[in-house]
Each structure stands twice: as C-alpha cells, then as structure tokens.
DNA sequence: TAGGATAGCTACCCGTGAGTATGGTCCACG
DNA sequence: CGTGGACCATACTCACGGGTAGCTATCCTA
C-alpha cells in the first residue's frame, strides 16, 4: 500500500532507478529487483488513481493508464490482475490514511472532541489526496461482491469510529449532545464531498479545508454568545475571534468558486 | 421535467392512462396523444433515474431501462435522443426541486437562517428523491462539454445561493460569522452525501434527515451553554426539541448502519 | 554459457452496449 | 378507403475496451 507521501510532478523517471555502486552482495540484486517491482507497482496504482481522479473509473481505460506510464497495457497487467483490483488498491491506499488517523488519535490524552478533530484533519487530508476520489467514489456497483464487501466493511469501520468518538465526547462533556449516527453522516459527508470539488491546484490544502470545516462544525450556525463573557458583539460579523488557531483563509468571499 | 411528487409503488401502469369520457373535441385525440407522450417520456426518465440509482450510470444499459419499462431499446430512443440526455434530464429533474426551494425561500419574511433552513430541508428531500443520485453524481466526465457546462452552471447557482443566504444571515445576525464559501461547501457536502447512503426503504425520509442535519449544523459540536429560552435537559441526547415538527426516528443508535 | 526468472511488447480475441435501419401495426383524418 | 404519422419490435452495425497468447530481450544464478 503506497502511503501517500507528496512526491512531486512527473511520476517516475523513465529510466528505472539509476544504478548505484554499492558493493555487490550475492542477494542484493534480487532484493533490488523486488524493491523495483514494488516501486513500479505503486507507480501503476498512483497513475490509476490520478486517471480515475481526472476522468472517472469507467472513462479510464487501461490503455490510458499504460500510456500515462509510457508502457503498454500488458505491462500494467503484469503488476495488477485486473482493473477492479486497481480501483480496490487505490481505495485501500486512500482509506489507510484515515485508519491511521484513528490509531494515532486513540493514544491522545485529550477530550474526545480534540481526538475527533485530529481524526477529521487527517480525514480531510486523505480525501484531498490523489487517492481521495477512489476512496470516496469506489462504488459497490463497480466491484465484485467480495471486493464490495471488503470496502463496505472498511467504510463501516470508519463510520463506527466517528460515532464512537462522538459518543465519547458526549459522555465526557466535550461534545454537545447529538445523535451520533446522524452527526457522523453529516461530518463524513461534508468531508467526503471534498473529493468532488477539490483540485490539487487549489489555494488551500486538504488539511486547511478540514480545519475550516471543523471550525464550522464546532461553532455551528447559530450566533453563539461568546462563552466566557456573555454580552459581546453578536451582531458584528467580523468579531468572531472564537478560536485563534484557525487559518480562516484570508480573502473569504472574493473568489467566485472554482 | 417531472416534478418529484411521491407517487407510490409501481412506476406506471402498463396500460397507458385510462380513457376518460370527456366530450370529444376534434383535437382531443391528438392532444391526448401528446399528453400520453409526455407521460411516457417522464416514465422513461424516472425509470432511468431508478436504474442509475441502483446500478450507476455506466453499469446501466439502455436495454436495462427498456426492460424495466417492458419495452425495447428503440422505444426508449423514441423518447430520448441518447443516454447522455437521459442523465441530463434526470439531473435537471432533481435540481429543479432545489431551485424551487430558493424561489420559495426568497419570499419568506424571516431571518436568513430560517430561510436557509427552509432551503436545506427541500435540498435534503431532493437529494433523497429518486433523482438524487443523478443530481449529485452526474459527472462532467460522463457528459459532453456543453451539457457539462450546463450542469456546472446549475450547480454553481445552487452554491452561490447558499453562500448568499449565509452572507445575509451573517449580516442580519441570525448566523454566526463564518466563511460563506467553506460553510456552503460543508453544508452542501453533507446533504449531497445523503444520496450515497440513503435508500428509500430507510426509516427516515429525506426531509427528516435534512432536519436532523440542520440541528447538527445549527448547534455545532461544542457544548453550548443553553441560551435563554432553551433551558431543558442539555445532557439528554433524546431531547433536542428545537422544533416539534421533526419526527426524529425513535431508535437512534441501535441500528448498526445500513 | 546454459537455463530460468523477470519484464515488456505486438497482435489478437471477444463480450458488451450504444445507436440504427427497416418494417409492421394501429389510429386519425381526408 | 387509403394515406400518413405515431409508436414500437426485430435484427442488425460497430467501436471500444478488458483481458490474453505468445514472442523477445535482459539479467541473474548455476
């Protein structure tokens, strides 16, 4: 599973991994071979993810993916068994980041709302990554029953994780009482939807968007009397200094979408 | 454009529109014919929407749609020019409900937050309707450039409408200051996502889900010191009687998703 | 240096599904 | 009565794309 590191522009050098002059050990070559293979396999999956991202699963042929890698279709089949598996791998690559987020958050000694926020930040990052599309839009309809079942199970795991954090937050008082099921749907929906409109060339990163969303979800739409002092400025749009941490995205309204 | 009235169970009677005994006018027959045609055309579009909804656009063949109507493919082509147009019509049918929501809300003499809520309620209803899938998932990638442009324009119109309501709400003090762009994305995302998980057989209607989402978005996650009127039972998840209208779907957490 | 694994290509197969050519039936109208 | 148009079916074309067969080249190990 390719962990989603940034890795700039052009996918992989045409010439495979320049030769180094380490002292040759008897097994080194074959190990090198295997590593190369894994690298190439990941490149295939990343190329698929980018193609799916741009043109959609069904509008992407394996010839397209092969062409993006400057190879031919059978070469792609040399690394993956079929198109469906390609989608599946992309999905797994995307969701792995979220699962990691839950693992990380579990060890945090803070109120549940903070743990939830940490998860959501990474969630947003994952959805805005190049695997976001695949993670979000991998449809059971496009997959064989067993793959579909796997994916459903993972999605459900994420969903249950969010619900659990919400329940814990309600318990420890850090989260306003609410229906965990519905709230989890709302949270996940807002974040998942990022994959529909986000493009890498955007001014905000996925994490920044997640941060801004969290701000929205935390404070709510109702005008909120500033917690500490009761009176203040609830009529003034620009006060709002409820939390200093949020980037808040300077020019808020000027840009006319997309 | 078929407005989404409920219309129970079996889609359309096999026998076309029972004959009535009005006084026959010379043009009646041909008018009747035309009406029939429109009815049948809508039936085709509804059938397509249901099929797309169940199996996805690309996994639905026109033979499937024809079979659902108990006719053959050329018959479908008699009413629509191609598959793409079918998707487009479904999209328009779905989004028309939302545009209507904005029109309705404009005439309401209430604070902007209330107008926004009214819009979101209808939004949720539309997304949960049988055209929801098409509206939400009609991808520019699957459509010719000009259709894609149309759809983008409509989506943008909805987005701008939400942003406008948010700005107005911030102005009139009924909405907590926030970034309208990001907030609109969050709201629309959460609601759009309903189309991914909602099935007609669910215990809640689309409107009820929207209502519950609104509750979440209004109050926010942070524990909220009860404001003047709304004292009661802050710790009890089941209270939340902010509005009497919402049925709230009894068993909230027991059902383990889907 | 033979033999085998690795890696990639050219050239094909074939199912599927969008869209159509053609023709038949029924009904309205002259 | 017969002509034209609305409506629908049978039966086709055809391109696209997933997947494969089989050849070739290179490098590693024996």
Higher pLDDT, A219 or B248: A219
The pLDDT value given to residue B201: 80
Report which residue is nearest nucleotide D19 when distances run from CA to C1': A82
Q: Do B222 and A188 touch (CB under 8 A)?
A: no
**CA-nearest residue of chain A to B171?**
A237
The pLDDT value given to residue B14: 33
* pLDDT per residue rounded down to tens, chain B (258 residues): 333 333 333 333 333 333 333 444 545 556 666 678 889 999 999 999 999 999 999 999 999 999 999 999 999 999 999 999 999 999 999 999 999 999 999 999 999 999 999 999 999 999 999 999 999 988 888 999 999 999 999 999 999 999 999 999 999 999 999 999 999 999 999 999 999 999 878 889 999 999 999 999 999 998 877 654 443 333 344 333 343 433 334 333 333 333
Q: How far apart are CA B47 and CA B79, in angstroms?
A: 13
Residues 23-52/A with CB within 7 Å of nucleic chain D are: 26-27, 29-30, 33
Q: Which residues in chain A are contacts of B173 at CB distance < 8 A?
A: 223, 234-235
Q: Do B142 and A59 touch (CB under 8 A)?
A: yes
Q: How far apart are CA A227 and CA A111, in angstroms?
A: 18
- Which long-range contacts (C-beta less than 8 Å, at least 24 apart) are formed by A16-23? A16/A40
Q: Which residues in chain B are contacts of A211 at CB distance < 8 A?
A: none
Q: Do A55 and B141 touch (CB under 8 A)?
A: yes
Q: Which residues in chain B are contacts of A253 at CB distance < 8 A?
A: 163, 167, 179-181
DSSP-derived secondary structure for A52-96: HHHH-STT--HHHHHHHTTS-HHHHHHH-S-HHHHHHHHHHHHHH
For the ranges A114-123, A164-173, B9-18, B113-122, which has the lowest average pLDDT? B9-18
Work out the average pLDDT over A80-90: 95
Higher pLDDT, A228 or B120: B120
Among B183, B236, B255, whose Cβ lies nearest the Cβ of A216?
B183
Work out the average pLDDT over A49-77: 95
Q: Do A183 and B156 touch (CB under 8 A)?
A: no
Q: Which residues in chain A are contacts of B225 at CB distance < 8 A?
A: 225, 227
Does the C-beta of A61 come within 7 A of strand D? Answer: yes
Within 10 A of B243 (CB to CB), how many other CB atoms are there? Answer: 11
Measured in angstroms, what separates residue A33's CA from nucleotide D27's C1'?
10
Residues 6+ apart with CB under 8 A from B133: B49, B52, B53, B195
Measured in angstroms, what separates residue A97's CA from nucleotide C9's C1'?
36
Q: Do B156 and A217 touch (CB under 8 A)?
A: no
């Amino acid at each position: 599973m390719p962990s989603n590191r940034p890795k700039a522009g052009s996918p992989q050098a045409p010439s495979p991994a320049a030769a180094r002059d380490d002292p040759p050990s008897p097994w080194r070559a074959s190990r090198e071979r295997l590593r190369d293979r894994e690298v190439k396999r990941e490149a295939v999956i990343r190329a698929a993810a980018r193609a799916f991202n741009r043109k959609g699963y069904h509008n992407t042929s394996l010839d397209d993916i092969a062409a993006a890698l400057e190879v031919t279709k059978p070469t792609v089949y040399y690394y993956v068994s079929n198109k469906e598996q390609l989608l599946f791998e992309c999905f797994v690559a995307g969701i792995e980041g979220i699962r990691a987020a839950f693992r990380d958050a579990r060890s945090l000694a803070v109120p549940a709302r903070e743990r939830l926020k940490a998860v959501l930040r990474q969630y947003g990052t994952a959805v805005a990554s190049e695997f976001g599309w695949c993670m979000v839009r991998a449809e059971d309809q496009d997959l064989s029953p067993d793959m579909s079942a796997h994916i459903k199970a993972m999605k459900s795991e994420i969903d249950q994780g969010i619900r659990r954090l919400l329940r814990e937050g309600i318990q420890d008082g850090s989260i306003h009482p609410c229906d965990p099921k519905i709230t989890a749907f709302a949270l996940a929906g807002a974040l998942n939807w990022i994959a529909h409109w986000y493009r890498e060339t955007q001014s905000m990163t996925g994490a920044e968007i997640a941060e801004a969303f969290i701000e929205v979800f935390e404070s709510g739409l109702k005008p909120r009397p500033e917690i500490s002092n009761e009176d203040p400025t609830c009529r003034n749009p620009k006060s709002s200094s409820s939390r200093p941490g949020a980037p808040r995205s300077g020019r808020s309204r000027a840009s006319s979408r997309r």
